Structure 1
């Protein structure tokens, strides 16, 4: 046996690079879509706070309500996630089932009348809050990151590249850490930019980009739970 061959990295499905790519991509798509159609964000709640303050300063009252509702329903989803986890933490499939609301919401949004645009926003924000709690502490391989967002992951990416580039011993581990965060950030930006482009042709149906990636992530998580079972 050749002892110089690198060991194969074995990770759980929800700690894999592919799962991280799917969730980051979904976050970019969802945030840009909701900003275009509903004037609010669903994943980047700190962004909602900043935009809310800007709207208040400009007395743009019509765009204040969507952001307040998004923050409120996101919080409800997060709290619901805590309750579900406490009641079902022993049940292997509980994470899989908390992904179902956001999959269904993203699929049905294009069919709902325009007058229900605030309800559409709230349904996605609730599902996103649920996912944020469900996958708190999730890792891409061994690196902890935040799903569906990029701000904290971007800072970690810069930090890891700094350590790698300034280190005298440029180990493969340091490079791998930097690459993991880079993959998450690029996936989020790709989802955001692709949504903006595809929206020109598909209109409201572009949210199905997120539906597809949410569903793939659901299948990965469900499959992993089945193997553990």
Structure 2
């Protein structure tokens, strides 16, 4: 009995480690892509729709409808990405669905890296927002804790509540949650910083790093699924 419990605990630790690594990596990519589009594509945010709506309102109030296509369609495509994953989840329970939802982002980032800066932003940013909507919906939990890998407001709120709970109750569960949300926040911020620095050297091609990272996650995820059989 003791041996089987030990094996089970080790399996749970490995599963959590894999889930945490994927979550941190996706948060890194979320910050990375948002910094990429903000710097190179009309100060648009692919996932931070609060910011996009504020920018959209500013454009309408001060510039009319001239610069709003990117903001508007970014919002629409992000919502469509969320809806698509929700729809597929109700139609299929295959374990391969989740990792395969990374494919659109892998392909889109690869293509965007070839497009010149002169390409209209409304042809570049909305497809990336669609992918972020898919990614943040497909990968929404780590060890049962809900998180967001594409923007930070909710993570910061949950993290501060968890830290507060730990300080008052000394609950290990609260401490675990607080550390998780802190790690996600730092990973997102690091992704944004790395993106901003690399764009000085590689400009539009900077986004190819996301293709490489997500491709690696996809390959690893599929390997783990097939190795269980």
TM over 0.5: yes
- Aligned to 1:160, which of 156, 159, 162? 162
Equivalent residue runs for 1:72-91 within 5 Å: 72-87=76-91, 89-91=92-94
Change (3 A) 1:218 1:52: same
Q: 1:25, CA displacement in angstroms? A: 0.5
Q: 1:227, CA displacement in angstroms? A: 4.0
Deviation string 1:154-181 (CA, Å, 9 cap, x unpaired) is 11111111111233xx243332211100
Instruction: Name the stretch that deviates more: 184-193 or 41-50.
Output: 41-50
Q: 1:18, CA displacement in angstroms? A: 0.6
Q: 1:11, CA displacement in angstroms? A: 5.5
**Given the alignment of the two structures, is residue 131 of structure 1 paired with residue 130 of structure 2, yes or no?**
no
Contact 2:85–2:134 (Cα < 8 Å) also in 1? yes
Change (3 A) 1:50 1:116: closer
Distance (whole Å) between structure 1 residues aligned to residue 108 and residue 32 of structure 2: 14
Could you tell me which runs of 5 or more consecutive residues in structure 2 were left unpaired when the two chains were aligned. 3-8
Distance (whole Å) between structure 2 residues aligned to residue 103 and residue 175 of structure 1: 34
Change (3 A) 1:220 1:159: farther
Give the aligned CA root-mean-square deviation in angstroms.
Answer: 2.3
In the other structure, the counterpart of 1:66 is: 70
Instruction: Name the stretch that deviates more: 28-37 or 110-119.
Output: 110-119
Q: 1:116, CA displacement in angstroms? A: 4.5
Equivalent residue runs for 1:1-229 within 5 Å: 8=10, 9-10=12-13, 12=15, 16-39=19-42, 40-59=44-63, 61-87=65-91, 89-113=92-116, 114-135=118-139, 138-167=140-169, 170-229=170-229
Q: 1:150, CA displacement in angstroms? A: 0.9
Instruction: Give 3-state SS (helix, strand or coil) of 1:42's partner.
Output: coil
Instruction: Give 3-state SS (helix, strand or coil) of 2:47's partner.
Output: coil
Distance (whole Å) between structure 2 residues aligned to residue 45 and residue 14 of structure 1: 30
Q: 1:19, CA displacement in angstroms? A: 0.8
